[in-house]
Amino acid sequence: MKTIDQFNFSGKKALVRVDYNVPLDNNFLVTDDTRIQATIPTINKIRKEGGAVILMSHLGRPKSGPSEEFSLKHLVKYLDDIFQTQVRFADDCIGDEARKKAAALKPGEILLLENLRFYKEEEKGDAAFAEKLAALGDVYVNDAFGTAHRAHASTAVIAQFFADKVCGYVMQAELDNARKVLENAERPFTAIMGGAKISDKILIIEKLLDRVDNLLIGGGMTYTFIKAMGGNIGNSLLEADKVDLARQLIEQARAKGVNLVLPADSIIADAFKNDASQKEADNHNIPDGWMGLDIGPKSRADFSKIIEDSRTILWNGPMGVFELPNFARGTIRVAEAVVKATEKGGFSLIGGGDSAAAINNLGFGERVSYVSTGGGALLEYMEGKELPGVKALEA
């Protein structure tokens, strides 16, 4: 794979796939700009060398063609401020306006195309659509690791229409950091897996059991494991059809000498809402009518000690319903422990999605080793799956 540092963009128009699928509030203002900030080095490198930049991205999941809600025009003013230049905007990603504005771009200038997913052809991986996009630039740069696991027109199919194709700094850093954890992890190596469902994490858990020293389980999937051990979980989240699988994973961990740690206690509530009645409970004895929504104080202490003593940490998924402030303490405590381990010289990779949001919302983004911008893509890469967006750059 050719990297961005191996290419000189002087006089070139670079068609750059970025992941600007960022959250917007009701006034269409960006509420988390992590993904945009991550692309700045790639874009600045192209401009500094005398290249012009054509940005393409998706935003949200538009159901049927163009809509105000999912228009990328809402990002233009924001990008103007970041790059201290007037970012041009094409109200289509293909067609006459896009072609004319791309052709008129001068060195150092930036053009943002309208949402790729306004065309169904994008997600279908349509080659004719990809070829129309490709006609806008001289060199293809993929800096959208967050969509690298999708075989979409702009992330994978398009590469075949370019003689010159390179990965941007985001893509390169994501792959380098994932490989560091997978192939060169310093021990003790601890993985922290949270989230609601075992079914979402089966493959990554199985893969990690061959690599880690400690596997800490949190979030909603905890209770399927506790059920598999014969515990009473009250009304906590349960994947009844995954109880046998949970039992098998516990056995696999034991056979492989992995320290699989389940939370000993929970903060339980009588309803799924922030102001519900709450109390602490042993995880094997949660009363009927009550549900676990966060790890409890003993679990927070147990997890923190293991994390702080680790040299390599992979974290994917919250410890509880952290979007409800009364059930965020477990996730916050784990985040603090990851920061402490990092400050002691450990390496920490935060696996995108909710974990990345938690770290960034707490202001810890600069205090861990790397925050991934791609939750699903990172998981699939670590599961050993081939990512279409990466493969396309290697061809």
> For strand 278-282 and strand 265-269, is the pairing parallel, antiparallel, or unpaired?
antiparallel
Examine the residue annotation and report whether 211 is marked as an active-site residue of this protein: no
Contact status, residue 376 vs residue 145, Cβ threshold 8 Å: no
**In sequence order, which residues have a C-beta less than 8 Å from that of residue 250 and are 6 or more positions away?**
225, 228, 229, 260
**Could you say which of 35, 117, 132, 300 is catalytic?**
35
- In this structure, the number of other CB atoms found within 10 A of the CB of residue 34 comes to 18
Examine the residue annotation and report whether 35 is marked as an active-site residue of this protein: yes
Provide the terminal-to-terminal Cα distance of the chain, rounded to the nearest Å.
Answer: 8
Examine the residue annotation and report whether 389 is marked as an active-site residue of this protein: no
Examine the residue annotation and report whether 47 is marked as an active-site residue of this protein: no
**In sequence order, which residues have a C-beta less than 8 Å from that of residue 27 and are 6 or more positions away?**
none
Nearest CA among 300, 308, 314 for reference residue 341: 308
**Could you say which of 197, 247, 311, 391 is catalytic?**
197
3-state class (DSSP) for residue 135: coil
**Could you say which of 125, 218, 353, 374 is catalytic?**
353
Contact status, residue 313 vs residue 348, Cβ threshold 8 Å: yes
Distance CA 378, CA 385 (A): 10
Known catalytic residues? 35, 197, 353, 376
